[in-house]
Amino acid sequence: MHGDYRQRIGRPAGMNLRTPSQLSLTMRARASPKREETGWTPVNDPEGFYSSGIPDLDRLIGGGFRRGSEALLSADETVGLEDLDLVLFPIFLNFLYQSRGIIAVLPARDAPHGFRARLTQYATRRRFDTRVRVIDYVGEDRGLSYVVNLAKDGAPISRERAMQLMVNAEKQVQGGRRRPFIEYTAFEVFDTLMGSETALKMTYYGIKRVRNVGNLGIGVLRPGLGLASGVRSAADMEFALHRDEVGLIIRGVRPSFPSFVVTQDGAKGPPHVSFVPRPN
């Protein structure tokens, strides 16, 4: 607040069913680096912090996200999923490539299978499926190993069953070494399905838990939500996002920093990004 896909091809002993051209292709495939080793190079975490995976952002906020903190992205109506991906994917990948996990409550515009398809452009499906769990409250993408369905036939499942599923999800993203993980929350989901008062109480307890266990909380706040002021007062950091004719703009609210344009890193390519001062 996430199985393992392996394929082995067998053959009877003493039989070689591969042509020379197939053997050549196999050898080249074996010599090629694994995608998960080249999709992202982790940025080291300073002592007591988690790197954002964006060096420019780390410098602006004093080294990264303090362990056990809640960071808030206040995104207005001009900001789309692709804009959120620009900022969030480096954060997510920097966790995943250090064998840490993610529990995600996605925005209403997103879906578990779409989120997986976009993020696995830069990480293997195996890495995603073993370290990411998407929490679903409406019965979407049922039966997928990385989706935790807390609704069935349009109605919430029992509280006891939901608690059991959430405990299992946390164990899966933590792994055997009980590593910290990201708790990613689109607050519009709680506000819409549970009402502002209940959603704010859940958020309060969630942020307290993030601090106690040393996870990283990442929240997305959209305009018009009833819990907005309460979430803002509880968060440790807040960044304002909007899109204009220049591009995606990020501005620091807490800590304060001026507006920057979020752009793809020209040297490293996506999903790496850089912050460029916004032209006047």
Length of the chain: 280
Closest C-alpha to 76, from 258, 225, 230, 202: 225
Going along the chain from its start, the domains and CATH numbers come out as 51-277 (3.40.50.300)
Q: Is the pLDDT of residue 17 over 70?
A: no
Rounded Cα distance, 139 and 149, in Å: 6
Model confidence, pTM? 0.86
Rounded Cα distance, 80 and 243, in Å: 9
Q: Is the pLDDT of residue 75 over 60?
A: yes
Rounded Cα distance, 158 and 160, in Å: 5
Tokens of 100: 């840490």
Are the CB atoms for 75 and 242 separated by under 8 Å?
yes
| Average pLDDT score over residue span 208-212 | 96
What one-letter code names the amino acid at 231? V
- Between residues 115 and 152, which one has the greater pLDDT? 115
Are the CB atoms for 203 and 217 separated by under 8 Å?
no
Please enumerate in sequence order all residues whose Cβ is within 8 A of that of 73, keeping only pairs 6 or more positions apart, or say none: 84, 87, 88, 218, 219, 220, 221, 238, 239, 241
| Average pLDDT score over residue span 223-232 | 97
What one-letter code names the amino acid at 62? G
Rounded Cα distance, 188 and 156, in Å: 18
| Average pLDDT score over residue span 132-154 | 94
Are the CB atoms for 160 and 175 separated by under 8 Å?
no
What's the DSSP call for residue 201?
H
Rounded Cα distance, 274 and 54, in Å: 7
**What ranges in 32-186 are assigned the alpha helix state H?**
35-38, 55-60, 81-96, 112-119, 125-131, 159-174
Give percent above pLDDT 90 in the chain: 84
pLDDT of amino acid 38: 58
pLDDT digits (tens, 9 = 90+) for 155-193: 899 999 999 999 999 999 999 999 999 999 999 999 999
Rounded Cα distance, 247 and 269, in Å: 17
Three-state DSSP state, 259:
strand
Tokens of 80: 């789309």
What one-letter code names the amino acid at 72? L
Closest C-alpha to 94, from 104, 84, 102, 103: 102
